[in-house]
Chain A
């Protein structure tokens, strides 16, 4: 289940004076089971890019191959593609509409033509995966809190059993606790199911801890495409395009500048703590 983007270009409002190039010659290969982070400033084309992956937007130029098939072929089944590549939009709670949570989650699998029993099993399974308490299953989705609504919406996509799950800014508008809950839930999902997960965000701190690979988008083209620590080495360039490396990167660089021999490639808080302690020991200072 690999996805290949071959010189993809996309222009918004191509016949208007306001025409804008949103994707500029994007070439990517996304292999199976990867946990990928797509990062970019507002308007960098990251949301446009992911909407191409399940055929919601059609590239102005270029081709996209999913499992070796060109999704722009005339006889390609887009519905099948959408069951394979699940896309959770920004603020997905705004798409809820059914009378209760469970029925809403059933919407996806029902559309794909599963019978009633299968649909309900899939919905139940998806709701469990996002960790929503059973007491909420038969409540109106509009009575839940923001974080709970968002989980229901994610479950709505998960119930379609996608092999690739794309989350567009899943933590936007959530408090730190809600953010932590959603991200750790995503991580758990990935550990348990070996799905390909694509996490779109403008915050490095969101993705640094979890992903295998980071793609940095700027003005519609791919600026960096590498493992997190390689990308964060360019933290000064990242700042210039309005992004920031994780806070840990700044601390480690500042410490190194002050003469403490620490490894500046570290990206997570836990690693950083250990490294600072070790560095202090190495340099012969006392640690309490």
Chain B
């Protein structure tokens, strides 16, 4: 029942993008998002879209997975576009009853739409091609300079990877308990808001109990293996940059320079 949630999901396959160091993908995504906010003309968005299309092609992830991520923000997208379309002051183009569409509004709405779409597809591409564990590893390594100012980088990364690890487990557990209670005649799908909220009790109580039990077991298991935090811990698979990572960085720099230079040209 809950297997259909895809936002933030990993798509398993082999590709150039999948094999990249997570730091490249993290840094690349951040830079890509920054670039989206630098453009002043449509040409910039065109280059950004082209760049994204190439990366998607390289990643071997079917396009429909990108679209699935879009579904989640469709509502937000519609509202943003509507507000910009009708509420931007400027030269009126069309007047519908009390609402006025302005030339500036159309431009603004298109910009916002392009920005949001590219942003969501870009960042979901990162999670689709990187396992959660890899991602937190990358973050830990990238943030490690912050240790100097006493930021508990390792602990934060560990908490993140545990939280991520627990999502599928709890999802499966929820599915199981839901089925078990459905088998006892519980109804999660019908009735008014109050009835449905009440119906969640037989689901949430066992779920919380199991989550606490699992957390307790995990703490015990870590304790039993002498886990004492990040100090002096080594990694089985340390992150080391390879040739293809530098290649990717080079591609990224080229994209950044070209897109921002072209994107900030004033075309009159």
Spell out A's residues near B (CB within 8 Å): 13, 17-18, 51, 54, 56, 79, 82-83, 86-87, 89, 92, 94-97, 107-109, 111-112, 142, 156-157, 160
Contacts and interface: CB of A to CB of B under 8 A. Distances in A.
Given A17-B11, A18-B12, A89-B176, A156 B184 contact: yes
Contacts, number: 60
Which of A82, A89, A95 is the most central at the interface, judged by chain B CB atoms within 10 Å of its CB?
A95
Summarize B's interface: helix, strand, loop or mixed.
Answer: helix
B183 A111 contact: no
Nearest to A86: B183
B180 A89 contact: yes
A94 B12 CA distance: 32
B38 interface: no
A6 B189 CA distance: 28
Given A82-B183, A111-B186, 16 more contacts: A56-B179, A56-B183, A82-B184, A82-B185, A86-B183, A87-B183, A94-B206, A94-B209, A97-B201, A107-B202, A111-B184, A111-B185, A111-B187, A112-B185, A157-B183, A160-B184
Nearest to A87: B183
A94 B206 CA distance: 6
Contacts of A83: 185
Contacts of B176: 89, 94
Contacts of B177: 94-95
A79 B209 CA distance: 27
B13 interface: yes
Nearest to A104: B202
Interface in B1-28: 3, 11-13
Contacts of B210: 94
Nearest to A85: B183
Nearest to A91: B176
B216 interface: no
